[in-house]
Amino acid sequence: MRKYKNYLQVLTFFMVASFLLSSLVIAQIAVAKEATAQSSGKTASSGESASQEELAQILAPIALYPDTLLAQMFMAATYPLEIVEAARFVKEKSSLKDDALDKALKEKEWDVSVKSLCHFPTVLASLSEHLDATKRLGDYFLDDQKAVMDMVQTLRTKAMEEGNLKTTEEQKVTEEEKIIIIESANPQVVYVPSYSCTYVYGSWWYPHYPPYVWYPPPPRYGFGVGIVVGIGIGRWCSPNWRRGDINVNINRTNNFNKNVNIGGKGDRQSWTHNPKHRQGVAYNNK
């Protein structure tokens, strides 16, 4: 009888030990996968991407922004808490402009994309005030950059077909092999457009997903006051529409930034998300 009890005790011990060891291995594998994802700038995901309707809804009010500004917004949206901090800083230090603002920004630890948007206080304030939408935009971009950028091109095509996207005194609009590019007419002056989505795109084709309202839209289409920027702010990044990512030129950020999040080597490189600047905000796991 005693031998039988000893046998049961030994068997129970090995079963418990086996269970604990298996649990430890599974946990270590999970941690390793998470670390790999963070080091590569990717986030955990169930594999469910945003629908075309969702992308159109969130992008419609900003798809006609100049390319370089839009690229900055995409990157910065992946760091929502830093956007809030930067918006508060700009509001408190509204007297700082140009070189003085660059000097102050150089001491901040925010991502370079967030710093750059400090030169566009209205845009930055809108992103901060609509934080849920900003986080959605950032999560969509992290999940599938090319899908986001392709939808921008779809929206621009719609606006052009309606006759509402063209070259003006404020902007230069060109089409190269079905890719629509929007640039500032003057490289050192950026005009942020303000428009009614139902006007510029015509009849909205996703009735259950109306365009998001980032700001009270005007009746039609117009521009705000031109923002004077140096070559660093206006030309340090640009979308690569065909490849579906963003080019970054590190040498053009030196005036307001100590370093930049990039991948690879050289001056002009592809942007890579840095989880450090996420500041603990949860990633999108649908």
- Cβ–Cβ under 8 Å, residues 266 and 259: no
Task: Tell me which residue of 282, 233, 285, 272 sits closest to 81, measured CA to CA.
Answer: 282
User: Domain check: are 90 and 9 in the same one?
Assistant: no
Residues 198 and 87 in one domain: yes
74 lies in a domain? yes
Beta-carbon contacts of 19 under 8 Å, excluding residues fewer than 6 positions away, are none
Looking at the domain assignment, is residue 46 inside a domain? no
pLDDT at residue 151 is higher than 50: yes
The verdict on pTM exceeding 0.85 is: no
Angle between helices 121-129 and 80-92 (to 10 degrees): 130
Asked if residue 44 is part of any domain, the answer here is no
State yes or no: pLDDT of 65 exceeds 80.
yes
For residue 88, being part of any structural domain is answered with yes
Give the end-to-end CA distance of the chain in Å, rounded to a whole number: 55
Is the same domain home to 7 and 68?
Answer: no
Domain membership flag for residue 286 = no
Looking at the structure, tell me whether residues 117 and 35 fall in a common domain: no
What is the extent of the structural domain holding 28?
A: 1-39
Beta bridge partners of 223: 193
Domains contained in the chain, number: 2
pLDDT in tens, 27-55: 343 333 333 333 333 443 434 579 999 99
The pLDDT value recorded for residue 119 is 92
- Position with higher pLDDT, 28 vs 171: 171
Question: How far apart (Å, rounded) are the C-alpha atoms in residues 211 and 199?
Answer: 12
Per-residue pLDDT of 257-273, as tens digits, reads 665 554 445 567 899 99
Q: Does one domain contain both 234 and 131?
A: yes
Domain membership flag for residue 45: no
The top-scoring range by mean pLDDT among 3-7, 18-22, 207-211 is 207-211
Q: Are residues 102 and 189 in the same domain?
A: yes
Q: Please check whether residues 109 and 31 belong to one and the same domain.
A: no
Is 285 part of a structural domain of the chain? no
Same domain, 91 and 227: yes
- Of 47-51, 65-69, 212-216, 225-229, give the lowest mean pLDDT range: 47-51
**Same domain, yes or no: 240 and 132:** yes
Identify whether residues 88 and 33 lie together within a single domain: no
Residues 108 and 171 in one domain: yes
Do 94 and 28 share a domain, yes or no?
no
Q: Is residue 284 part of a domain?
A: no
